Chains A and B, each alone.
Chain A
Amino acid sequence: MENRGITFGYGFLSQESSFDVQFSLIEFDGSHSYFRAYLVGLLNTILVSVIGIIFATIIGIVVGIARLSNNYLIKRTAAVYVEFFRNIPLLLQIFFWYFAALRALPLPQDAEPMFGVFFLTIKGFFVPAFVWNNLDIFIYSLIAAVISIIFIRIYARKKQEKDGVQTPVLSISIGLLLILPILSFLFGGVDTSIEVPVIKQLSQSGFTYEGGIKLPPELISLALALSLYTATFIAECVRAGVQGVSKGQKEAAASIGLTPNQVLKLVVMPQALRIIIPPTTNQYLNLTKNSSLAAAIAYPDLVLVFAGTALMQTGRAIEIVSITMLTYLSLSISISIFMNWYNKKIAIKEK
């Protein structure tokens, strides 16, 4: 290394980076430091992972349950979906959505509004944004609701252990989550208005939208591909979990007089979740790691911004690649430590 004239050190992180990033959640331009570029990339990675995880979970649960349906058509449709999307490389799917499917969208000036306020164009998806007054009070009200729900749950459990009386925790929770924010609107001075994107002419033939939030096509195609691909694996986890609960458990629960809802809530779900959650967490982790494929379609995630642009500019390969790898490594190791703890906690305690 030395005879190639390479020095080692992390001092460059505070230097001024002189590049710009297309899409970032925090303010960033050439005058900010390389460390801030790292943060921009990290936040973009987290953003696409969270979106992907939410959609993959929803699709995965629906498809997983559909695969267990007694309706032949639904079962086959779900199976075809799983087999098809699971057997095609993720990179190919990302390219497909980005270069083929989303390129067929209309230009901004030709776009038809969906429900009057959403605009799906070749330049991205434009959605209305909320403009908040006193956002902090609203958030406090939500936090207060969550804390009181936790206390109510603890109280309900104690009460059930003592008297055997069940408290309707779920409806109380939903009520609290609705009522407290509404109160904050009525009395806390919280106010919100919706900002609809409006078309604006840039040049002779260049149009764009102003106001609202712009989701770039890179983000959409990446999130779409990640969630459709990962959902197939989650669907299989869900199916295995539900199938793993033996029929006798359901029959036994029904025979001691539990209602179908209680059977699902108290007997089937706790056992199924024990099977479902560990592999599903693994899939979430895979999704987060797969989001680094963003570099292939120029979505500015950690790998592209930091291990790509910043590396090219500073030439500090070892430092930058090691920081990038450490970031992913610490993420996955912390999750696997959590999973080991969780597995121990939910494992069947045999006497």
Chain B
Amino acid sequence: MNKLNFLQPDKNNLYSYLFTGVILVSLSIFIVFLNSFFSLDLLSFLPGTISFFLPLIIGFMGLHLIRIEYSGLKFLDVVNKNINTNSFNAFLSLLIIFVVIKSLPPLLSWFILDASIAGDSKDVCTGTGACWTYIKIWFNRFMYGMYPNAEQWRINLSFIALAFLGTIGFFATEKFKKYLTLYYVVVYPIIAFFFIFFFISGGPIFFDFSYGIIAAVLSIIIGFFIPPKFKMYYFIIVPITLYILLKYVFFYEELIELGKLEALEWVETGAWGGLSLTFIVSFFCLIFCFPIGLFLSLGRRSDFPIIKYISIGMIEFWRGVPLITVLFMSSVMFPMFLPEDMFIDKLVRVIIAISLFEAAYVAEVIRGGLQALPRGQYDAAKSLGMGYWKMHILVILPQALKLVIPGIANTFLALVKDTPLIFVVGLLEIVGMLNLAKTNPEWLGFAMEGYVFASVLFFIICYAMSKYSYNLEQKYKTER
């Protein structure tokens, strides 16, 4: 048998070193485990500081002994390579393991073991753990804000319907694939708006813009009988004419009468709130900020000085100020510039403000993609006789947007995370509702539970979004 040198473990006495090392490491972990889960201190006979550091020293010695390169044991090699490459790494690994073991029992006890969820009043929360009863009782408020309880099926139904309509893309056959972009960019947002306007808000069935809908529907029907050559002009001129005719010439009085027929109870936007409001605001801001940002980024690279400098001014302005002051402006300053009888809803103002704000960031991201494309792409497109729009739509943008998927996803994530700021104008989405619930005299002292609950929700939403964007990036990745 070879001599054992404990300072330099080698392969010759592999099993001796392995045996001692594993025992030492397990011993140290066992000590910390007992201490943390059963509050048993095996080392209590030693003075305080030594008993605190001893498991670390024992484990460190153990890891030193099993640090044998090319041992031939697959498991040992994997362990060594991943957590035990040198003394410093071994020390940090042990520290992390111990911190995890130490922090598990308090976390477990707070989240699950000592937490209370039964009952429906504050009195059941006597334990040292979390009071999930609080979340249970306030769940409706956190989800729907001040929306009347009896009407909440409207939100549920709209969201389920919209979620279903959103998944249509996955079921579309090859024949309809080419219309998907149109569907998602134009049709789907309009459907969503109708759902939210008529269903969640319970708006009057006919009101001013219902003329617009009728005009659009009529013009589409007539559109089938128009020769394709004139279609482009037709779709610009006819709807506007129809709209003006309908509103000011034909059915003015009758439609107003119809408008008074309200199908559902009107719920004003001030009562909306909770997670559903987060979804509504993020959804519309996402939809609006992308095209605005796209046009701003194209404008910034335009050859016309006026367009260029307006775009630069817009982008730099919105990027330079904090969102909170923008919302402040939309709530305090903006109404002053409107005619006195005009009133724009708070929610609409907020959506416009956030969309413009995020559009500036989207614009900069897309500009990065446009700049990354080689000049040859532009030249090639031009040499084929393509005009500005054709070149951008068919050649430049598909490539540029593909490059900036991660950047756009980051901006969208930032947008979702910025929605809680709408508390500035008095709209209470989930974080705002939490703060409101926290000040309720019957439910004082449960701030922690509320914030943990909201954090978990946001984490799930944002993490899912970032993973989805990563998948998208991989899907559209092409070798260049």
Is A95 an interface position by the 8 A CB rule?
yes
B333 touches A92 (CB 8 A): no
Among B81, B83, B413, B420, which residue has its beta carbon within 8 angstroms of that of A91? B420
> Complex: how many Å from CA A73 to CA B434?
35
Question: Chain A 305-342 against B: per-residue CB contact (8 Å), 1 yes, 0 no?
Answer: 00100010000011001001100110111001000000
Q: Which residues of B contact A289 (CB under 8 A)?
A: 321-323
Q: Which residues of A contact B448 (CB under 8 A)?
A: 96, 100-101
Q: Which residues of A contact B332 (CB under 8 A)?
A: 311, 317, 321
> Which B139-194 residues have a C-beta within 8 angstroms of A?
none
Is A90 an interface position by the 8 A CB rule?
yes
Residue of A nearest to B89 (CB): A71
Is A193 an interface position by the 8 A CB rule?
no
Q: Which residues of B contact A329 (CB under 8 A)?
A: 316-317, 320-321
A92 touches B431 (CB 8 A): yes
Residue of B nearest to A291 (CB): B322
> Complex: how many Å from CA A87 to CA B319?
21
Q: Which residues of B contact A254 (CB under 8 A)?
A: none
A296 touches B417 (CB 8 A): no
- Interface residue range, chain B: 35 or more
Is A3 an interface position by the 8 A CB rule?
yes
> Complex: how many Å from CA A86 to CA B462?
9
B92 touches A73 (CB 8 A): yes
Given contacts A87-B466, A321-B332, contact A3 B96 (CB under 8 A): no
Q: Which residues of A contact B413 (CB under 8 A)?
A: 87
Q: Which residues of B contact A77 (CB under 8 A)?
A: 96
Is A51 an interface position by the 8 A CB rule?
no
> Complex: how many Å from CA A71 to CA B319?
39
Among B322, B434, B435, B455, which residue has its beta carbon within 8 angstroms of that of A328? B322
A87 touches B328 (CB 8 A): no
Q: Which residues of A contact B329 (CB under 8 A)?
A: 321, 325
B325 touches A91 (CB 8 A): no
Q: How far is the CB of B225 from chain A (nearest CB, A)?
A: 51
Among B85, B325, B424, B459, which residue has its beta carbon within 8 angstroms of that of A88? B459
Chain A contact residues: over half helix, strand or loop, or mixed?
A: helix
> Which A263-321 residues have a C-beta within 8 angstroms of B?
289-290, 292-293, 295-296, 303, 307, 311, 317-318, 321
A1 touches B324 (CB 8 A): no
Q: How far is the CB of A243 from chain B (nearest CB, A)?
A: 15
> Complex: how many Å from CA A329 to CA B317?
7
> Which A200-214 residues have a C-beta within 8 angstroms of B?
none
> Which B434-480 residues have a C-beta within 8 angstroms of A?
434-435, 438, 447-448, 451, 454-455, 458-459, 462-463, 466
Q: How far is the CB of A305 from chain B (nearest CB, A)?
A: 13
A73 touches B96 (CB 8 A): yes
Q: Which residues of A contact B340 (CB under 8 A)?
A: 3-4
Q: Which residues of A contact B316 (CB under 8 A)?
A: 329, 333, 336
B320 touches A328 (CB 8 A): yes
Among A70, A86, A89, A99, which residue has its beta carbon within 8 angstroms of that of B447? A99
> Complex: how many Å from CA A122 to CA B434?
21
Q: How far is the CB of A241 from chain B (nearest CB, A)?
A: 16
Q: How far is the CB of A124 from chain B (nearest CB, A)?
A: 19
Is A83 an interface position by the 8 A CB rule?
yes
A328 touches B333 (CB 8 A): no
Q: Which residues of B contact A95 (CB under 8 A)?
A: 431, 434-435, 447, 451
A333 touches B325 (CB 8 A): no
Q: Which residues of A contact B416 (CB under 8 A)?
A: 89
Q: How far is the CB of B444 from chain A (nearest CB, A)?
A: 11
> Complex: how many Å from CA A100 to CA B455?
13
Among B83, B321, B336, B419, which residue has its beta carbon within 8 angstroms of that of A71? B83
Is A132 an interface position by the 8 A CB rule?
no
Question: Chain B 312-356 against A: per-residue CB contact (8 Å), 1 yes, 0 no?
Answer: 000011011111110011001100110010000000000000000
> Complex: how many Å from CA A296 to CA B428?
13
Is A74 an interface position by the 8 A CB rule?
yes
Q: Which residues of A contact B454 (CB under 8 A)?
A: 92
Given contacts A73-B83, A91-B420, A96-B451, contact A4 B325 (CB under 8 A): no
Q: How far is the CB of B44 from chain A (nearest CB, A)?
A: 23
Is B82 an interface position by the 8 A CB rule?
yes
Q: How far is the CB of B15 from chain A (nearest CB, A)?
A: 25
> Complex: how many Å from CA A166 to CA B317?
47
14 other A-B residue contacts (CB within 8 Å) besides A73-B82, A89-B417: A4-B336, A70-B89, A73-B83, A83-B463, A87-B459, A88-B455, A89-B420, A92-B451, A293-B421, A303-B322, A317-B332, A318-B333, A325-B325, A332-B320
Query: Which residues of chain A have a CB within 8 Å of any CB of chain B?
Result: 1, 3-4, 6, 69-74, 77, 83-84, 86-92, 95-96, 99-101, 103, 289-290, 292-293, 295-296, 303, 307, 311, 317-318, 321, 324-325, 328-329, 331-333, 336
Give 10 pairs: A residue, B residue, CB < 8 Å, sorted on A.
A71-B93, A72-B83, A92-B431, A95-B434, A99-B451, A100-B447, A103-B447, A293-B324, A325-B325, A329-B321
